[in-house]
């Protein structure tokens, strides 16, 4: 069935979603009806047409006071209204993609539902009382028709969970430690400032590596409750504009080898996590994974196993583009379409 969509909050993920609706060849059932964003129509149009990371939009774009037209399709613009003020019932909105970055609570989502939306999908980890936190490839089979408030997790959970799931199923994992090496984000200033409450995030992003608090371990525990308590996570911000990495150390329950781990990940990339997890054997750097649709690409050149038990991995992920692809995947599931793989993506970056 066709799904009428609204985007609430038109930041990095919201704009990536719009581009994906044009770029992917499997989104015919998804119709973007409205965008709720407090920025001016001119600013929305400019940052839709031009993107510092993803380049120029290959489409015809026109703007009016309250409308954005792309290739002749008109999208209504609302000026950052509160959920209860939005005319979702009149617009017959089936799904709100909440990309606002505001805390993902059940209460906030309910306000969208009361305004007439059919379902809400958060582009972030949400409170534990949402109907489901959905990680495509891991628990998409658990999605039910009566799930109305859904979280897509985070770019980091979507990167880590497929790897943990594969290795846990194949070898068992006793404990682990993960360090995310994440590109700078728009909650960081260009130069030092006194404005924010998080002291480390007040420092300039361009010339420093900054530790940041992360809830990744709690997110893993929600999805994999037996493993989560035995996992510790750190998070570093680095001065790059896109593509992040994950340094993963895991202690296997029994003997493993680098070859057996690589075989496990190869198998997952071809079957159960096709289109979500990929592997790469080339001597690459982070920039080579810009615009990559996968949630995680395991760099097999960096795979190590110590003492037949300690597995060391380096994984790449485009923290914007890969995650926005998973948002589209979930929207497609909600429209009744089967889970997507890379075969459905007409400009997928494959290795």
Rounded to 5 degrees, φ, ψ at 77 are -105, 125
Name the DSSP letter for residue 234.
Answer: E
Q: Which fold, 156-319?
A: Dihydrodipicolinate Reductase; domain 2 (3.30.360)
> Per CATH, the architecture of 3-130 is what?
3-Layer(aba) Sandwich (3.40)
For 211, other C-beta atoms within 10 Å of its C-beta total 11
Q: How many CB atoms lie within 10 A of CB 1?
A: 8
202: pLDDT confidence band, cut at 50, 70 and 90? confident
**pLDDT at residue 350 in the model:** 25
CB 16 within 8 A of CB 321: yes
Confidence category of residue 340, pLDDT binned at 50, 70, 90: low
The span from the CA of 329 to the CA of 335, in Å, is: 10
Distance CA 188, CA 31 (A): 33
pLDDT at 341: 53
Per-residue pLDDT at 268 exceeds 50: yes
The burial class, CB within 10 Å (0-12 / 13-18 / 19+), for 146 is exposed
Q: What's the CA gap between 315 and 180, in Å, rounded?
A: 9
The string of pLDDT tens digits covering residues 1-60 is 789 999 999 999 999 999 999 999 999 999 999 999 999 999 999 999 999 999 999 999
**Residue 182: which of 316, 327, 321 has the closest Cα?**
316
Distance CA 286, CA 303 (A): 16
Q: Which residues are catalytic?
A: 155
Q: Give the model's confidence band at 348: pLDDT under 50 very low, under 70 low, under 90 confident, else very high.
A: very low
Q: Which residues pair with 4 in a beta bridge?
A: 31
Separation of alpha carbons 157 and 243, rounded Å: 15
What is residue 195's predicted lDDT score, i.e. its pLDDT?
84
pLDDT of residue 281: 97
Per-chain mean pLDDT for the chain: 94
Residue-wise pLDDT tens digits, 83-100: 999 999 999 999 999 999
In the structure encoding, which two tokens stand for residue 208, read together?
A: 């420093």
The string of pLDDT tens digits covering residues 181-199 is: 999 998 888 888 888 787 8
What global pTM score does this model have? 0.93
Name 291's bridge partners: none
Domain coordinates of the chain in residue numbers? 3-130, 156-319
């Amino acid at each position: 069935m066709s799904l009428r969509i609204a985007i609430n909050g038109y930041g990095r993920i919201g704009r990536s979603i719009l581009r994906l609706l044009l770029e992917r060849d499997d989104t015919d059932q998804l119709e973007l009806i409205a965008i709720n964003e407090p920025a001016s129509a001119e600013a929305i149009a400019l940052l839709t047409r031009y993107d510092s990371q993803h380049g120029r939009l290959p489409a015809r774009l026109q703007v009016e006071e309250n409308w954005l037209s792309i290739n002749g399709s008109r999208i209504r613009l609302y000026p950052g209204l509160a959920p209860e003020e939005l005319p979702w019932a009149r617009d017959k909105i089936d799904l709100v993609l909440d990309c606002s970055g505001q805390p993902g609570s059940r209460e906030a989502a309910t306000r969208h539902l009361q305004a007439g939306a059919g379902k809400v999908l958060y582009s972030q980890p949400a409170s534990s009382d949402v109907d489901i936190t959905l990680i495509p490839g891991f628990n998409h089979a658990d999605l039910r028709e009566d799930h109305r408030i859904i979280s897509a997790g985070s770019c980091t959970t979507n990167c880590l969970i497929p790897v943990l799931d594969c290795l846990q199923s194949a070898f068992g994992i006793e404990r682990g430690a993960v360090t995310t090496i994440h590109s700078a984000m728009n909650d960081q200033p260009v130069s030092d400032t006194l404005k924010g409450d998080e002291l480390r995030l007040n420092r300039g992003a361009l010339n420093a590596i900054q530790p940041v608090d992360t809830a990744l371990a709690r997110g893993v525990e929600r999805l994999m409750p037996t493993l989560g308590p035995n996992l510790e996570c750190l998070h570093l911000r680095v001065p790059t504009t896109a593509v992040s990495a994950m340094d993963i150390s895991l202690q296997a329950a029994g003997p493993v080898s680098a070859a057996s781990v690589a075989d496990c990940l190869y198998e997952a990339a071809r079957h159960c996590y096709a289109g979500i997890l990929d592997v790469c054997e080339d001597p690459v750097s982070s920039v080579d994974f810009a615009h990559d649709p996968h949630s995680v690409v395991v760099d097999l050149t960096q795979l190590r196993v110590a003492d037949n038990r300690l597995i060391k991995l380096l994984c790449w992920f485009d923290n914007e583009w890969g995650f926005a692809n998973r948002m589209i995947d979930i929207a497609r599931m909600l429209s009744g379409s089967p889970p997507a793989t890379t075969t459905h993506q007409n400009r997928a970056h494959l290795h």
